[in-house]
Amino acid sequence: MRQTVLVLGANGRVGRALVEAFHAAGWQVKAQMRKAPTAPLPAGVEAVSCDALDTPALVAAAQGAAVIVNALNPDYARWDVLLPPLAASVLAAARASRATLMLPGNVYNFGAKLPAVLTETTPEQPDTPKARQRIALEGQMRAASREGVRSIVIRAGDFFGGGPGSWFDMVIAKDIAKGRVTWPGPEDLPHAWAYLPDLARVFVMVAERRAALAPFESLHFAGHTLSGAQMRQALEQASGRSLELRQMSWWPLRLASPFVPMLRALLQMRYLWLRPHQLDDSRLRALLGTVPHTPLVAALAASLGRHGSQLETAAAGAH
């Protein structure tokens, strides 16, 4: 009998990757979304149209689910307003269905002075607004686990490979057809990255082993750790062209930030490009044995797929 997973936020790039991974692994998938699907869902996936803040609707959608994955992507500039009620609604659904709750975590919890190597025992530091908000969210999950709601956080770096909306698409690879890569920090500092198809497969594998875990578990996904210089070199191989590396200018964001809440939120997180960091995945490897890991150049080539026409046009213009 197939197990059922409810993926919340299935219209987002993380949610869509999770829907596809669980479906490919043979799970019965329910895909929750507030609006109509932005792209056709895989055959057999059940679309659930409701607002995640509608707790009764979410509780009804979760009935029969063995796992709920919270891939909701609320307005980045309004986390303080949206995260608490969303967390309460999701926990209510998990509590009512007795499903295991899973969450894609990030490195925000470790604060503005995060160390170079991050493990599950690295102290959390609530010294930025986003750190406090994420720590509170995971704290609610930990507290609920003591009341019978099993929870798993899988922490990863910045996403790439899931379509538009990430630093990779919106900044780093945006001008690759013009022969340049833009990096938001010093080019020699390592930065943690997660190729979304790999991370989604990890979620499936951990979900299938959830009975072996503690009531609340936090695991790290290492993904790829790259400096700006290493990213440029790998993108040259993936795109088949010579690329110039430029450092991103932050001053336009500063000028506009008093008027644009999203830019203020992004500026608060600039430290992630000024602090070298990587995730240690020893515990995840101990659980899974082999962690999905697409070779870097192949992952970047797949991620550049949507830039293909631009690359072809640029190449044609060079002859």
Mean pLDDT is lowest, of 15-29, 195-209, 216-230, 248-262, for 248-262
pLDDT mean over 291-302: 97
pLDDT mean over 229-258: 95
Asked whether 220 and 283 are in contact (CB, 8 A), the reply is yes
313 pLDDT band (50/70/90 cuts)? very low
pLDDT mean over 270-293: 97
Sketch the domain layout of the chain as residue ranges: 4-158+195-223+277-293
What is the per-residue pLDDT for 305? 84
Indicate the angle between helix axes 296-303 and 196-208, nearest 10 degrees. Answer: 110
What is the per-residue pLDDT for 121? 97
Instruction: Tell whether the model's pLDDT for residue 312 goes beyond 70.
Output: no
Instruction: Tell whether the model's pLDDT for residue 183 goes beyond 80.
Output: yes
DSSP 243: -
Asked whether 97 and 59 are in contact (CB, 8 A), the reply is yes
Asked whether 18 and 2 are in contact (CB, 8 A), the reply is no
- Cα(272)–Cα(220) distance, integer angstroms: 17
What is the per-residue pLDDT for 31? 98
Residue percentage of the chain with pLDDT more than 70: 95
Instruction: Tell whether the model's pLDDT for residue 310 goes beyond 90.
Output: no
Instruction: Tell whether the model's pLDDT for residue 311 goes beyond 60.
Output: no
- Cα(40)–Cα(10) distance, integer angstroms: 11
Burial of 305 (0-12, 13-18, 19+ CB in 10 A): exposed
Instruction: Tell whether the model's pLDDT for residue 117 goes beyond 90.
Output: yes
317 pLDDT band (50/70/90 cuts)? very low
What backbone torsions phi and psi does residue 288 show, to the nearest 5 degrees? -95, -25
pLDDT mean over 268-287: 97
186 pLDDT band (50/70/90 cuts)? very high
The whole model's pTM is what? Answer: 0.94
Residue given tokens 């002075």 in the structure block: 113
- Cα(65)–Cα(149) distance, integer angstroms: 13
pLDDT mean over 304-318: 45
Please, which residues bridge with residue 6 across strands? Answer: 30, 68
**CATH 3.40.630.30 for the 4-158+195-223+277-293 domain, yes or no:** no
What is the per-residue pLDDT for 307? 46
Q: Positive or negative, the Cα torsion across 228, 229, 230, 236?
A: positive
Q: E strand or H helix at 201, and its extent? A: helix 196-208
